[in-house]
């Protein structure tokens, strides 16, 4: 039976070694260049002139992958090549090429968190007030349109105040208004009826905004090609965003926080005065427009950046839905030869107030009817990429304000990794030396069990795709101590039993049995604490809780199964252990 147990332990150890192995090589910081229209020689020349160390370069038909030794080298190279014409480059983190055979059995290295890889940490606040006010205004217009009530107003952007009609019974008025819109609670006073948005619906609005905002932000980050991003809901109106591998915080804020869309309008005639809207173009010239949109950004179903064929200028390729295409086609047929303006419109928060910026990015003469696909010019390469990205990912339902921002440099992240590995190795060496000096052969057995515990924990974290952070490493180191605590309890009980018994089988059996309840109780209470931390915590606390929970489970396995099996095997072989 002991041999069978030992064989199973050895098999589990070998499997855990295989799944832990990719973590030795980890990941490679990389730059992926897509749609490159320059020669390999030109790319190689740019790399050579940069004096940056390159790990490898791989060319395919569709993309070019440049791997680096460190994240710092990746950032330096990206800054040099990001504005080169005719290439579309983005940063990424790829698994090392040395583990490609392990990938066939889904053995991957653990993903590194922001504190180990470097990047940008943002906390954003959602402006739910704006949407609630919009809902109240819509209901206000609806009541005014249907009832024809004149004495109606919005008070403090929160409450609709209606003067009672003396000729109609107030109960009938209240009943009518209640049926008109169930989202409002009604407060009846002597002269006025007040409509107040009920709490349940407010909560529903906030949840809907949060869900849509998370969805849009996720799409935007996917479009940017940033891997291993963390987007988490933080309370009722905050979102925490971690962007590993990004150092340009302004670019991150610009892409994430923008509520951008497009508007298409005809230019006003010279003598036209009614329904006129005046905007500025990029050269700050005043342009008069007909204040009526032909189509809006909401009609866009796809957008991509590229270069137009005639003059090879940067452009955005637009595709709109069927209804908008019919409307655009009809309008452009009627207005052939006339100029049409494309307006870039974005919302942002300034001094706790929503601001809207509108700018004409392009004016073109309508030469032929437009359909569902067309191009927009008048932007530089980066502007084209950003606009296409924002249009593809969809508009944010409301404005975001950045309330916390932090940059963790790539060199700091790499230092954290080195220091963490040193701490882990040093703690294992010190514990192993202490155990061997104090408990001799039993101490050597506990060291084998400890190595088994660490290997198993790392392999499980890799299989579960856990993101490793500094706090996670702290959890791993803590569980190493807890694992040794269990072995010390067992060994001390064995020592006590050896004073009153001479049979080694009885000594070890009683030693384990007497220590069992203490080990189980201590680990269960620790596991409950870890579970509470996981449920109520966020970010680093959650990472610590995951590592601690897994470590507790593997430490029980290593102390009660691995240690016991090795001791029993040595007893069967008549090898003295005490």
Q: Which residues pair with 286 in a beta bridge?
A: 280
Residue 516 has which token pair? 């069992």
Residue 448: per-residue pLDDT:
92
Taking residues 258-273, what's their average pLDDT? Answer: 77
Residue, of 438 and 256, whose pLDDT is higher: 438
pLDDT given for residue 239 in this prediction? 87
Predicted pLDDT of residue 480 = 85
- Fold classified for 260-389: Gyrase A; domain 2 (3.30.1360)
In CATH terms, is domain 27-95 a member of 3.30.70.260? yes
Bridge partners of 360, per DSSP, are 281, 343
Tracing tokens 């819109």 back to the chain, one arrives at 181
> Quick count: other Cβ atoms within 10 Å of Cβ 178?
13
Which of helix, strand or coil describes residue 469? coil
Burial 116-125, CB ≥16 within 10 A → b, else e? bbbbbbbbbb
What's residue 554's pLDDT? 92
* pTM passes above 0.75: no
Residues 79/31, Cβ–Cβ less than 8 Å: no
Do the domains 27-95 and 129-202 sit in the same CATH topology, yes or no? yes
Q: Return the pLDDT at 167.
A: 47
Q: Are 169 and 178 in contact (CB under 8 A)?
A: no
DSSP letter (8 states) at residue 352: T
Q: Please report which confidence band the pLDDT of residue 286 belongs to, taking 50, 70 and 90 as the band edges.
A: confident
Region 538-548: mean pLDDT is 81
- Lookup: tokens for 121: 């940490």
**What are the sequence ranges of the domains in the chain?**
2-21+409-572, 27-95, 129-202, 260-389
Contact predicate 398/353, CB 8 Å: no
What one-character DSSP code corresponds to residue 409? -
Over range 389-402, report the average pLDDT.
Answer: 71
pLDDT band at 307 (very low <50, low <70, confident <90, very high): confident
Q: How is domain 2-21+409-572 classified at the architecture level of CATH?
A: Up-down Bundle (1.20)
Q: Which residues contact 46 (CB under 8 A, 6 or more apart)?
A: 80, 81, 84
Residue whose C-alpha is closest to residue 477's, from 520, 444, 443, 431: 431
Position with higher pLDDT, 386 vs 419: 419
Q: What per-residue confidence (pLDDT) applies to 36?
A: 58
The dihedrals phi and psi of 39, each to the nearest 5 degrees, come to: -75, 160
Is residue 85's pLDDT more than 70?
A: no
For the ranges 198-212, 297-311, 347-361, 553-567, the one whose mean pLDDT is highest: 553-567
Contacts of 263 (CB under 8 A, 6+ apart): 293, 296, 297, 342, 343, 345, 358
CA 78 – CA 303 distance, rounded (Å): 24
DSSP label at residue 241: E
- Percent of the chain exceeding pLDDT 70 equals 76
List, for residues 13-63, the tens digit of each pLDDT value: 999 999 988 888 877 777 777 655 556 666 677 667 777 777 877 776 667
Q: In the CATH scheme, what is the code of domain 129-202? A: 3.30.70
Residue 138 has pLDDT above 70, yes or no: yes
Joined tokens for residue 472: 């996670």
Distance from C-alpha of 346 to C-alpha of 144, rounded to nearest angstrom: 30
Query: Cα angle vertex 576, ends 570, 578, to 5°?
Result: 110
Terminal-residue alpha carbon distance, the chain = 23
Average pLDDT over residues 343-363: 71
> Could you tell me the sign of the dihedral formed by the alpha carbons of 351, 353, 354, 360, in that order?
negative
CB 294 within 8 A of CB 315: no
**pLDDT value at residue 155:** 66
Query: Average pLDDT of the chain?
Result: 78
The pLDDT, as a whole number, for residue 292 is 82
Q: Which two tokens mark 308? A: 């137009």
> Which positions ≥6 away from 50 have C-beta within 8 Å?
76, 77, 80
From residue 339, give the alpha-carbon distance in Å to each of 41, 264, 265, 332, 334.
43, 11, 9, 10, 12
Percent of the chain with pLDDT over 90: 6
């Amino acid at each position: 039976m002991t041999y069978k147990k030992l064989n199973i332990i050895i098999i589990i150890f070998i499997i855990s070694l295989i799944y832990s192995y990719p973590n030795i090589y980890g990941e490679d910081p990389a730059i992926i260049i897509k749609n490159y229209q320059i020669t390999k020689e030109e790319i190689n020349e740019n790399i050579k002139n940069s004096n940056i160390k390159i790990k490898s370069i791989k060319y395919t038909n569709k993309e070019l992958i440049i791997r680096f030794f460190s994240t710092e080298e990746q950032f330096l190279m990206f800054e040099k090549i990001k504005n080169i014409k005719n290439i579309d480059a983005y940063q990424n983190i790829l698994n090392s090429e040395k583990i490609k055979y392990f990938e066939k059995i889904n053995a991957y290295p653990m993903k590194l968190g922001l504190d180990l890889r470097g990047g940008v940490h943002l906390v954003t606040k959602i402006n739910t007030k704006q949407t609630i006010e919009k809902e109240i205004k819509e209901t206000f217009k609806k009541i005014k349109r249907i009832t024809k009530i004149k004495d109606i107003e919005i008070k403090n952007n929160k409450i609709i105040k209606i003067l009672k009609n003396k000729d109609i019974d107030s109960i009938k008025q209240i009943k009518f208004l209640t049926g008109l819109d169930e989202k409002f609670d009604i407060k009846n006073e002597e002269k006025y009826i007040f409509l107040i948005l009920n709490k349940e619906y407010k909560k529903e609005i906030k949840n809907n905004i949060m869900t849509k905002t998370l969805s849009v932000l996720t799409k935007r980050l996917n479009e940017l090609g940033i891997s291993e991003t963390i987007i988490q809901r933080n309370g009722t109106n905050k979102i925490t965003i971690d962007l590993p591998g990004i150092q340009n915080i302004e670019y991150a804020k610009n892409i994430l926080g923008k509520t951008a869309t497009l508007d298409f309008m005809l230019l006003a005639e010279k003598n036209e005065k009614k329904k006129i809207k005046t905007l500025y173009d990029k050269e700050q010239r005043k342009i008069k427009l007909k204040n009526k949109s032909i189509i809006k950004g909401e009609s866009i179903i796809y957008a991509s950046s590229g270069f137009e064929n005639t003059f090879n200028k940067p452009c955005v390729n637009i595709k709109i839905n069927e209804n908008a295409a019919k409307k655009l086609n009809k309008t452009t047929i009627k207005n052939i030869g006339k100029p049409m303006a494309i307006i870039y419109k974005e919302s942002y928060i300034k001094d706790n107030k929503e601001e809207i910026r509108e700018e004409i990015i392009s004016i073109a003469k309508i030469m032929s009817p437009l359909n569902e696909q067309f191009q927009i010019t008048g932007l530089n390469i980066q502007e084209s990429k950003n606009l296409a990205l924002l249009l593809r990912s969809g508009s944010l339902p409301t404005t975001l304000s950045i309330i916390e921002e932090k940059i963790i440099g790539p060199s700091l992240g790499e230092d954290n990794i080195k220091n963490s590995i040193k701490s882990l190795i040093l703690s294992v060496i010190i514990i192993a030396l202490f155990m061997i000096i104090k408990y001799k052969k039993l101490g050597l057995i506990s060291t084998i069990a400890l190595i088994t515990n660490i290997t198993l924990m790392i392999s499980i974290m890799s299989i579960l795709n856990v993101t490793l952070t500094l706090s996670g490493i702290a959890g791993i180191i803590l569980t190493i101590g807890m694992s040794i605590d269990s072995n010390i309890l067992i060994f001390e009980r064995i020592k006590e039993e050896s004073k009153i018994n001479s049979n080694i089988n009885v000594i070890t059996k009683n030693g384990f049995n007497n220590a069992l309840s203490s080990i189980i109780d201590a680990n269960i209470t620790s596991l409950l604490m870890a579970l509470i931390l996981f449920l109520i915590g966020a970010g680093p606390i959650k990472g610590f809780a995951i590592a601690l929970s897994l470590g507790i489970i593997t430490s029980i396995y290593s102390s009660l199964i691995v240690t016991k099996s090795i001791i029993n095997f040595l007893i069967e072989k008549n090898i003295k252990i005490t």
